[in-house]
Structure 1
Amino acid sequence: MTAAQTGGRTFRGDLDIPEGLPRGIDLGRIVNKDKAIAMYGRGFVEKMTDHAMLADDYAYQAMLDFKDKSNRTSWRTFDRALESGIDSIDDPTPGMVSLFEQLDHVPDWVDFDQLYRGAVAFWRAGPIVPPVLAWATIAGGFSMYSATRPVLFSGRLKSADHVGTRLVESFRYVVAAYTPGGMDRFEEGFRLTAKVRMIHAAVRHSLSRSDSWDWADWGIPINNLDSMETQAGQFGVKFVDAVQSSGIRYSDRELEDIFALSRYVGYVIGVPEEILHTGYEDARLKSDFHTMIEQPPDDFCRDVVHSVIKFSVEHPPGDVEVLPGPVAKFMTTERRLKLVYGLLDTWIDDDVMKALGAERTGWRHILPTVRPLVTAADRLGRLLPHDDEKTAFGMLRQFNDAIKLPDHADKATAVANPDEVHADIAANKGAMPVVSHS
């Protein structure tokens, strides 16, 4: 295990977990160990899987401080420190000081001009980006066995009256983080990324006290290994692969810029640099590794993926279509749903689609059919005068209209309310079975 030292505090990553648990490589969730060792080497496999039993203790300790009534630290204190800096807080706790020392430290590999270019490149692909985000990355991400475990307990992706809220919250965070300039210290992307980080810590705390959390199978809730995959894979490799499989091509420089941005988002959200991806090729290697050792989708994954897709098609966020307007305008809800599964047939691996029991619709031929035209138009567009920044901000305006907070809403509510999530987990609204230790 590793330790990180800052602000006088040493964090191993294993605060508040039970004794006697297996090492990461021996967790029930890990498959294909021998194959992974043969391909990647034992040292790499053990280092990465150890992080299934390690998590972000900077945020976790700060969150424990919130629960300690002997001090005045709270979620409101955290929000104020995000807005104005830790120096604006009178008598902050050691946990808060350590967290903000880590948050405010800018690693020497960060180039904010490159991050800006990465965000422009992310969105310059145009109308294909919202569907890829909604279905290939967010909905498709829940096809991962490990990523689905923490979201099952609250029931927020099972109950129709909560799915839309949860989906819009995810969009707000991702869109803000991937807005050009959004990850500057006092911008919305940084604020929401740090806020999501703390919500993850709160979810970890709640799940750690649930009789239904299977430590020996799943590891620590919201662990480093899965958080790494979210940035390197879900919003990195899987995003760019889906865009490029649709006919748009990113240049080598654009890819490096996009992955520099996702790397810094990963850093701010608490992925330790020890396993955080360093660039495009490293992200692909680590994402492929995570896929290799991952359990196949189960019934829980199927329920969540289909629930998210169905809701997003029937109730587009903010009543703004995820699909391009000219496409959506003439389609019934049933036809749109079939189109989404047709798109996913191109964006998601065949074995995953089969495991999800996804319908194979005639629309699966749509992207292969139009891809040559999209590719030709993209190549021509790159040769002619073009303004990627204008295109990116045009897409962002459209998407932000769909996910903006209601008028007069407190911006602290832009992402999940941790108290509500805790209450739902404590009540086990997802109806997860109690773990048997016999």
Structure 2
Amino acid sequence: MTPSRFQDGANARRRFGDQLDRLAPFLLRVDPLADAVVASFAAMPSGQGFRLLETALTRGIEAVPDAPPELRALFAAVDHVPVWVDWEAVSRGGTAFLRTGVIGGMLLAMQSLILGYASPGGNKPLALSGRLREQAGRRLAETGRFVHAVSQAGGMRRFGEGFAITVKVRIMHAQVRRLAHASGRWQTALWGEPVNQHDMIATALLFSVALLEGLDKLGYHVSPEQREDLVHLWRYVAHVIGVEGELIPGSYAEARRLAEMIFATQGAPDADSRALVDALLTHAARSAPNERERRRAEQRAALFAGVARTVLGEELAEQLGLPRTSARLAVPLVRALAAASSRAHALPSLQDFALDLGDRYWQRAIAFGLGGRPADFAPPERFASSRT
């Protein structure tokens, strides 16, 4: 039975035909390898399984003689590099993203994350986990660290930081599935499985196709070759994070069509969508240490809301409850900055400088967002009891 969140309307059917019939079942498919690892960890003392995982990531599965067979099976899969992986394309894709610097960072939050929150089914694991408002800033910083790490040169190589974080996120997803079902609040008939295959590939598309669309709307030019490279990077990230090969697009054109198909069938944003967006926009002001910082945070939030309205479109912005602010008048300046940056980044003499500048932006932004607390990407042991 197809979960009711899948909106197979007449317009979507005319456009995508029986591809919809092949996409819908992935809402009920998950990641048996990772789920088996989490089940084996649950039988161990608290934290022991995650320590075994970290050892396997840093030293190889051979360095874990007491590894459970489930963990060995997972590493047999992630240690295998598919023949289609082009390491130079992976590196170029990450470099192209890092050069976007502050523009890319703004779009990561105001385009990619918000589009993820807009899914009334895909947002449910996060909504049910609790503490929406308190964790908004932390989620943004951890997402930034993940995206930054996979984009680094060599980041997705076997012992790169991006690879390690990707595997940890895969295990985190499996634990969220376990907790969601254990909570007694999960409605499979309505939402599908928690963190299912459909939603995992949707996330990879948010960090590639959706980001590229946001850059287009702000006037930041990305060449066709760079688009393919960024999609290739996230194709490999999707593979490592546990997405089935059949579902992973092999080109920008395929990725864009799949993203459009997912968006056309997901339904309108719901109350959880609006709560998540509100938390994203207001977390900095709510946690500001003084009145001056609070005003600055509110000014940034107003600008970000204006950018979000520009890249998401007015209809979706209204459905998400994005505020209308006078800061929208500053959006043309953001566009001018984006266009000027892309022209500068196209000059060979400035490309290394732009990469260094973008990388330093991400390091500062992540450090500020984490507030001195490390992001270890350990799987949660429980859901919070509150959803506020």
TM-score by length of 2: 0.90
Contact preservation (8 Å) 2:90, 2:232: yes
* Structure 2 unaligned spans of 5+: none
Contact preservation (8 Å) 1:170, 1:415: no
User: Is 1:28 aligned to residue 4 of structure 2?
Assistant: yes
Q: 1:127 to 1:401 in 2, by over 3 A?
A: closer
Give the letter for the 2:364 counterpart: D
Contact preservation (8 Å) 1:200, 1:222: yes
Contact preservation (8 Å) 1:173, 1:415: no
User: Is 1:402 aligned to residue 365 of structure 2?
Assistant: yes
Structure 1 window deviating more from structure 2 (106-115 vs 389-398): it is 389-398
Contact preservation (8 Å) 2:344, 2:350: no
Contact preservation (8 Å) 2:78, 2:240: yes
Show CA shifts across 1:151-171 (max 9, x none): 01221323x3x3332322222
Measure the CA separation in 2 of the matches of 1:144 and 1:137: 12
Deviation at 1:354, TM superposition (A): 1.2
Deviation at 1:361, TM superposition (A): 2.3
Measure the CA separation in 1 of the matches of 2:142 and 2:187: 27
Q: Residue in 2 aligned with 1:171? A: 144
Q: 1:241 to 1:166 in 2, by over 3 A?
A: same
Show CA shifts across 1:212-233 (max 9, x none): 111110010000001011002x
Q: 1:297 to 1:87 in 2, by over 3 A?
A: same
Equivalent residue for 1:334, pick from 268, 287, 298: 298
Contact preservation (8 Å) 1:259, 1:280: yes
Q: Residue in 1 aligned with 2:385? A: 428
Q: 1:281 to 1:212 in 2, by over 3 A?
A: same
Give the letter for the 1:199 counterpart: M
Show CA shifts across 1:253-304 (max 9, x none): 1111111001111111111111012121111100000000002111111011
Give the letter for the 2:273 counterpart: C
Measure the CA separation in 2 of the matches of 1:226 and 1:244: 24
Deviation at 1:373, TM superposition (A): 6.9
SS of the equivalent of 1:173 reads helix
Q: Residue in 1 aligned with 2:40? A: 65
Contact preservation (8 Å) 2:168, 2:378: no
Deviation at 1:365, TM superposition (A): 4.3
Q: 1:315 to 1:186 in 2, by over 3 A?
A: farther
Give the letter for the 1:392 counterpart: L
Q: Residue in 1 aligned with 2:78? A: 103
Contact preservation (8 Å) 1:121, 1:388: no
Deviation at 1:378, TM superposition (A): 3.4
User: Is 1:75 aligned to residue 38 of structure 2?
Assistant: no
User: Is 1:230 aligned to residue 203 of structure 2?
Assistant: yes
Please report the RMSD computed on the Cα atoms of aligned residues, expressed in angstroms. 2.6
Contact preservation (8 Å) 1:339, 1:363: yes
SS of the equivalent of 1:386 reads helix
SS of the equivalent of 2:56 reads helix
Q: 1:156 to 1:172 in 2, by over 3 A?
A: farther
Q: Residue in 2 aligned with 1:157? A: 132
User: Is 1:211 aligned to residue 184 of structure 2?
Assistant: yes
Give the letter for the 2:147 counterpart: V
Deviation at 1:73, TM superposition (A): 6.9
Deviation at 1:368, TM superposition (A): 4.3
Q: Residue in 1 aligned with 2:110? A: 135
Measure the CA separation in 1 of the matches of 2:62 and 2:248: 29
Q: Residue in 2 aligned with 1:7? A: none
Structure 1 window deviating more from structure 2 (243-252 vs 123-132): it is 123-132
Contact preservation (8 Å) 2:38, 2:174: yes
SS of the equivalent of 1:274 reads helix
Q: Residue in 2 aligned with 1:414? A: 375
Deviation at 1:136, TM superposition (A): 1.8
Measure the CA separation in 2 of the matches of 1:377 and 1:398: 14
Q: Residue in 1 aligned with 2:351? A: 388
Measure the CA separation in 2 of the matches of 1:369 and 1:73: 51
Measure the CA separation in 2 of the matches of 1:358 and 1:304: 11
Deviation at 1:364, TM superposition (A): 2.9
Q: For 1:245-260, what aligned pairs fall within 5 Å after superposition?
A: 245-260=217-232
Measure the CA separation in 1 of the matches of 2:287 and 2:237: 29
Deviation at 1:79, TM superposition (A): 1.0
User: Is 1:198 aligned to residue 197 of structure 2?
Assistant: no
Give the letter for the 1:193 counterpart: T
Measure the CA separation in 2 of the matches of 1:66 and 1:376: 50
Measure the CA separation in 1 of the matches of 2:285 and 2:245: 37
Deviation at 1:398, TM superposition (A): 2.6
Query: In proportion to residue count, which structure has more helix?
Result: 2
Give the letter for the 2:281 counterpart: I
Q: 1:388 to 1:314 in 2, by over 3 A?
A: farther
SS of the equivalent of 1:147 reads coil
SS of the equivalent of 2:147 reads helix
Q: State the 4+ residue runs in structure 1 displaced beyond 6 angstroms.
A: none
Deviation at 1:92, TM superposition (A): 2.6
Measure the CA separation in 2 of the matches of 1:89 and 1:196: 20
Deviation at 1:374, TM superposition (A): 4.6
Q: 1:122 to 1:73 in 2, by over 3 A?
A: same
Q: 1:292 to 1:391 in 2, by over 3 A?
A: same
Show CA shifts across 1:372-422 (max 9, x none): 67536633653x443424322322223213324777x7xxx524442xx33
Measure the CA separation in 2 of the matches of 1:378 and 1:79: 39
Measure the CA separation in 1 of the matches of 2:163 and 2:57: 9
* Structure 1 unaligned spans of 5+: 1-21, 320-327, 432-438
Contact preservation (8 Å) 1:246, 1:371: yes
Q: Residue in 2 aligned with 1:262? A: 234
User: Is 1:298 aligned to residue 282 of structure 2?
Assistant: no
User: Is 1:307 aligned to residue 283 of structure 2?
Assistant: no
Equivalent residue for 1:239, pick from 194, 208, 211: 211
